[in-house]
A and B are shown apart, each in its own frame.
Chain A
Amino acid sequence: MSVSLSMTVNGKATKADVEPRMLLVDYLRVSLGLTGTHVGCDTAQCGACTIHLNGRAVKACNILAVQAQGATILTIEGLAAADGTMHPMQQAFKDCHGLQCGFCTPGMVMNAVDLVARHPGADEKTIREQLEGNFCRCTGYHNIVKAVQQGAAAMAK
């Protein structure tokens, strides 16, 4: 049995017949080839698969593809401007060395963008609390916190 599914991903209309048990993250990675969204766990704890669903940060491993029927999805591949200019949050992660192996980075950046939208003037404590759902094993979060602060300032401009 398969289900007909359509949604908008990074500004483009997509359509496919999928198994009902398919996760959204597999739809993005396998069906659409958008491999920037990563899978780091199977309990919705690590946040490597974070994407935006209708403007909100969501863990794509914790939702079925069919639940995103008709939704508007933004993944890391769609965050930069069309000409390749990085989003201020992507640039801030680079400037602050907020990434090492890069595996948690797409989810971390997608969460950070949403975090700033919800808490524009967040202090360090709030940022750290809001990053709780995203694991990084490389950076110790020190430079990620700095990057979110710098990204927030740049996004406010």
Chain B
Amino acid sequence: MGANDTGFIGQSVKRKEDARFLTGAGQYTDDVTMANQTHAYFLRSPHAHAKLRKIDTSKAKKAPGVVAVYTGADLEGVNGLPCGWLITSVDGTPMKEPPHHVLAKGKVRYVGDQVALVIAETREQAKDAAELIDVDYEVLPAVVNSADALKPGAPQIHDEAPGNKCYTWAIGDRAAVDAAFAKAAHVTKIDIVNNRLIPNAIEPRAAVASYNRAEDAYTLYVTSQNPHVERLLMTAFVLGLPEHKVRVIAPDVGGGFGSKIYLYAEETAMVWASKRVNRPIKWACERSESFLTDAHGRDHITHAELALDKDGKFLALRVHTIAAMGAYLSTFASCIPTILYATLLAGQYTTPVIYCEVTAAFTNTAPVDAYRGAGRPEATYVVERIVHQAAAETGIAQDELRRRNFIRTFPYQTPVALLYDTGGYDATLDEAMKIADVKGFAARKAEAAKRGRLRGLGYAAYIEACGIAPSNVAGALGARAGLFEAGEVRVHPTGSVTVFTGSHSHGQGHETTFAQVVATVLGIPVENVDVVHGDTGRVLFGMGTYGSRSLSVGGTAIMKALDKIVAKGKKIAAHLLEAAEGDIEFKDGKFTVAGTDRSKTFGEIALTAYVPHNYPLDKLEPGLNETAFYDPTNFTFPAGTHICEVEIDPDTGVVQVVNFTACDDFGNIINPMIVEGQVHGGLTQGIGQALLENCVYDKESGQLLTGSYMDYAMPRADDLPSFKVGTKVTPCTHNPLGSKGCGEAGAIGAPAALMNAVLDAMSVAGVKHFDMPASPHRVWQALRSAKAA
């Protein structure tokens, strides 16, 4: 594949990483084996809430093959796991941050809470020995629903959080919203639940921790989306180790979707223990443990009200949400239902005033944190469900009501803190309607009705804020970390290039996309560029991958390093060509004296930099290796319209997704093939939430009822249609690639589009309210209840 005017930008270059994945040569954490390694197994609480009266490990310690057994009491000097974002309540008090012990102390607070670490010669021996640990539990009443947890008399989970309340936070002008509602011509109200999800990356979490006594240094292989952040949190906050003594490697990682952002107890305990046993320790999470202990997503209960004038213009939006935190605060739990949720409630609309209040509650469940979309799917679900209902109530067509309220002037300051730099919402709506053949829907609906089927069409015009930034603004909002990215471009003497990026790829294809960017700028083949990520020992620094930030933030850091490479290359070329530096142009891999045919190739410049015989050594250092950090000036704002068409069999309640269309604006696109793949995957997780997936805990016992793939309905190939996707482009205005991010969009728009389609289909039967998931039993019940009423 050759470069054209725009190089490799916009080309569907086949992925560089595929060869190893397709031949079984990928290196995932569980594939790492170290000499003399031991195996870890974690004994977990079978109770949702209990006092730990006594733990007797004596029998386990004597079991065959056992190397060590540790409980919370052994971890002296080890701090609890930190939360990375401080949210301040409306009354000015900081959120409640109860200790999150690496191994439980005093109490266990959810089924799966880690009680003891057993290390043995084999995994089976560790597991067998764990059964010999005698734990005396005093079982306490549990509460798993966030609204129940906030009720008076609910079981008290942490002494530090009275009433199980973590915080009550608000954004917006409450008085102005009340005033707008007072003069509204129409008010639409909804009560909705955003169902709890379990991320289920197909690679379960895993870790291999080792300690080198000669160097007094640790190495941790771990399934992480952000190894530098993992290292910072683990060393500085929990273990009190110097950062440079811990190398964290996140090798090939089999999907993350948010669940591998966080610092978990398991790898932290293993790093601590690796020095005590002075041998490598390996742990691979079983799927049953993943269900119990990976951070879950969503779990909101929301009441929302939308005020409209007589022409359907939105006057105000009022939202109250209860968000579940689970038993402990996971790494970024607190900012998801606040900073990444309420700030998105303007959607694509000019709603002038918005007020949102969020109460976060502790529950006896697994912690809840970011899952693909993280706050933004929840916001889109509120906005697009209420807009759908408002259209149904006022009789204004779904597309027309949205159009009457679209933002069309940019930059646009929303009433909930964000400044949208650019967008084109009519274009994505128009294109989505065209692709979805909305014009033909009435005929399809009539045809379906003849077969006794209910057909419905649903829209979701979503917006998201990606590439979270800038650090100083995030810091003012409570972030306890920076949100920049780092990159390094190392040009080798023969002109090939290795790029080191702080972004982490666990399916996103960075090794290809980033190589396309670098190859384009330097005018060299994609094959000459390799991308290295996921190793604190090789990559200078990084904040990792989440919030669809890799290209817009990580890619920009690389662009800045490339700028420095080109600038230095011009200096070297000016010397070799005996010209003024200002006269050197760099294009298509050649440094040329402007207006002449005198030039040097990129390869010649690279070689000169490392063999500096004819070189301005008095003015310029040898070598061609540059680093850059990039801290974004604003979020990026991908947006688009998703349209879902469903057909329901009222006799069985089965919902079939017959068509799903997504038209997105991700700004400039480097590799359309990879972007489409990201959309397909996101859509499937969104459709999964709306159609199939639901995390259920037993209300009395706090047991996870959906703790395996036989109980938790994952989307399978035959649950889904082929997708129709389109794109429109308004380039991001504040990064050099003009890119906005594409990883989460599908999961953000799809649930609302699908549920609006289901509600549209069921409207003929009189169903007005319905919560996810639209599983056959629930749909059938809703149709029957409406009929009875």
Contact = CB atoms under 8 A, between A and B. Distances in A.
Interface of A: 19, 21, 29, 33-43, 45-46, 48, 75-77, 79-80, 86, 90, 93-95, 97, 99-106, 109, 124-125, 127-129, 131-132, 134-145
Interface string B1-28: 0000000000010110111111111111
A45 B710 contact: yes
A150 to B, nearest CB: 13
Given A101-B201, A142-B722, A86 B717 contact: no
Contact of A127 (B33, B257, B717): B717
A80 B30 CA distance: 23
A21 B127 CA distance: 13
Contacts of A109: 22
Contact of B22 (A48, A93, A140): A93
B718 A128 contact: yes
Contacts of A93: 18, 22
29 contacts: A35-B27, A36-B23, A40-B287, A42-B288, A45-B708, A45-B710, A46-B202, A77-B24, A79-B23, A94-B18, A94-B19, A97-B15, A100-B507, A100-B681, A101-B21, A101-B253, A102-B254, A102-B507, A128-B718, A129-B718, A131-B716, A137-B201, A138-B202, A139-B684, A140-B681, A140-B682, A140-B723, A140-B746, A141-B680
A46 B718 contact: no
Given A36-B25, A39-B284, A46 B709 contact: yes
Contacts of A105: 21-22
B508 interface: yes
A99 B673 CA distance: 11
Contacts of A94: 14-15, 18-19, 22
A41 B287 contact: yes
Contacts of B15: 94, 97
A131 B14 contact: no
A101 B709 contact: no
A75 B708 CA distance: 26
Given A102-B17, A136-B202, 6 more contacts: A36-B24, A36-B26, A79-B23, A90-B23, A140-B683, A141-B684
A18 to B, nearest CB: 12
Interface string B95-136: 000000000000000000000000000001000000000000
A139 B681 contact: yes
B631 interface: no
A41 B201 CA distance: 11
Interface string B666-698: 000000011011001111110000000000000
Contacts of A35: 24, 27-28, 30-31
A42 B507 contact: no
B24 A42 contact: no
Contact of B716 (A48, A80, A90, A135): A135
Contacts of B677: 97, 100, 138-139, 143
Contacts of A136: 202, 717
B297 interface: no
A109 B18 CA distance: 13
Interface in B278-292: 284, 286-288
A128 B716 CA distance: 8
A142 B277 CA distance: 47
A100 B510 CA distance: 11
Nearest to A94: B18
10 closest A-B pairs by CB:
A36-B24, A103-B254, A102-B21, A101-B507, A140-B684, A100-B507, A45-B709, A140-B680, A76-B24, A35-B31
Interface centre among A21, A35, A37, A90 (most CB of B within 10 A): A35
B361 to A, nearest CB: 28
Contact of B507 (A127, A138, A142): A138
A75 B24 CA distance: 9
A56 B508 CA distance: 32
Contact of B708 (A37, A43, A106, A127): A43
A37 B28 CA distance: 11
A104 B506 CA distance: 13
B467 to A, nearest CB: 20
B487 interface: no
Contact of A40 (B27, B203, B673): B203
Given A137-B257, A138-B507, A145-B717, A86 B23 contact: yes
B203 A141 contact: no
Interface in B715-764: 715-718, 720, 722-723, 746
A101 B255 contact: yes
Contacts of A128: 717-718, 720
Given A95-B14, A102-B252, A142-B723, A77 B23 contact: yes
A46 B287 contact: yes
Interface in B24-78: 24-28, 30-31, 33
B200 interface: yes
Contacts of A43: 287, 708-710
B681 A137 contact: yes
Contacts of A134: 717
Contact of A100 (B124, B508, B685): B508
A139 B683 CA distance: 9
A132 B717 contact: yes
Contacts of A124: 722
B714 interface: yes
Contacts of A19: 124
B204 interface: yes
A43 to B, nearest CB: 5
A128 B257 CA distance: 24
Contacts of B717: 127-129, 131-132, 134, 136, 141, 144-145
A38 B254 contact: yes
A139 B710 CA distance: 21
A42 B288 CA distance: 7
Contacts of B22: 76, 86, 90, 93-94, 99, 102, 105-106, 109
Contact of B202 (A76, A104, A142): A104
A135 B22 CA distance: 16
